[in-house]
Amino acid sequence: MWTDMCLALRIAREAAEVADRAFAEGVAEVRHKADGSEVTAADLAVEDLVRQRLAELLPDDGVHGEERPERRGTSGRRWLVDPISGTADFVHGRPSYSVDLALEGALAVSVMPSLGITIAAGRGMGCRVFRGRHEEVARVSTQDSLDHARVCLHGKRKPVLGRGVVVDGSLSVLRLVTGGVDAVIAAGAGLDEFDLACLPVLVEEAGGRVTAAGDDVVLASNGPLHDALLGLVARPGVEPGTPGS
């Protein structure tokens, strides 16, 4: 697993340099896909680089990216690539976008090149945050009071919680795994396996929990608040499950 983690970090960081250069230069062209989401030339360049490196180093592994057709492998392993997670932020000059790479169900790397931050986690390895040369172990908060819970909301169909404190949603995953917020709820059409590729491994290895609470609703929390929050966001008749299952 350590070999895979080192490789994933190297590839994701190299790809993130491509995204960072494009971000610094400004986005020249944006087009909209069939689902209405934005895509840029940088998305394609980043994914192509990741695919090339994986093909060179792990030719038997499958690769599924957001912008290109899936390449099926023979090893039983599959990499998921979200070349620029937060394309809207990228397009509008906000540095909180990331380059995400995950070995499905096993490890996850999220690089925010314009902020100089990387989050990485592997099953049984814990979660770590790198800020330049500084490395820290990431741990979620221990908040167990729903009334004092700090919650980030994302998506077009934000739930009305009735309890807790809704806070700014920027850098929400980073803040969750480092204890800055207690829960993140994403709701609304458009959530896909690429949006969720890194989330379970990062959050769970930092001590938290992640649950898909019905169609297009995902709850990630510190753990102690999870069941209570799940009761507020889960819709009657929907059986919660694990994202990607």
Among 113, 137, 161, the domain boundary falls at 137
Q: Is 66 annotated as a binding residue?
A: yes
> pLDDT digits over 189-217, tens only?
556 778 788 999 999 999 999 998 766 78
Instruction: Please check the confidence at residue 151 and state whether its pLDDT lies above 80.
Output: yes
CA-to-CA distance for 210 and 196, rounded, in angstroms?
A: 10
pLDDT-derived band at 30 (thresholds 50, 70, 90) equals confident
Q: Is 195 annotated as a binding residue?
A: yes
Q: Is residue 243 part of a domain?
A: no
Q: How many residues make up the chain in this entry?
A: 245
List the CATH number of the domain containing 191.
3.40.190.80
Same domain, 21 and 110: yes
Same domain, 108 and 165: no
Same domain, 183 and 202: yes
Same domain, 28 and 65: yes
Domain that holds residue 212: 146-233
Q: Which of 164, 137, 136, 130 is nearest to 150 (CA)?
A: 164
Half-sphere exposure of 112 (CA within 13 A, CB side): 20
Same domain, 129 and 17: yes
Same domain, 99 and 220: no
Same domain, 154 and 133: no
Instruction: Please check the confidence at residue 241 and state whether its pLDDT lies above 80.
Output: no
Q: Is 192 annotated as a binding residue?
A: no
The whole-model pTM stands at: 0.91
Same domain, 19 and 114: yes
Same domain, 85 and 154: no
Q: Which of 128, 113, 135 is nearest to 202 (CA)?
A: 128
Q: Is 239 annotated as a binding residue?
A: no
Instruction: Please check the confidence at residue 108 and state whether its pLDDT lies above 80.
Output: yes
Same domain, 112 and 29: yes
List the CATH number of the domain containing 106.
3.30.540.10
Cβ contact 149:164 at 8 Å: yes
Position 190 scores a pLDDT of: 59
Same domain, 65 and 118: yes
Number of domains in the chain: 2
Same domain, 224 and 131: no
Q: Is residue 24 part of a domain?
A: yes
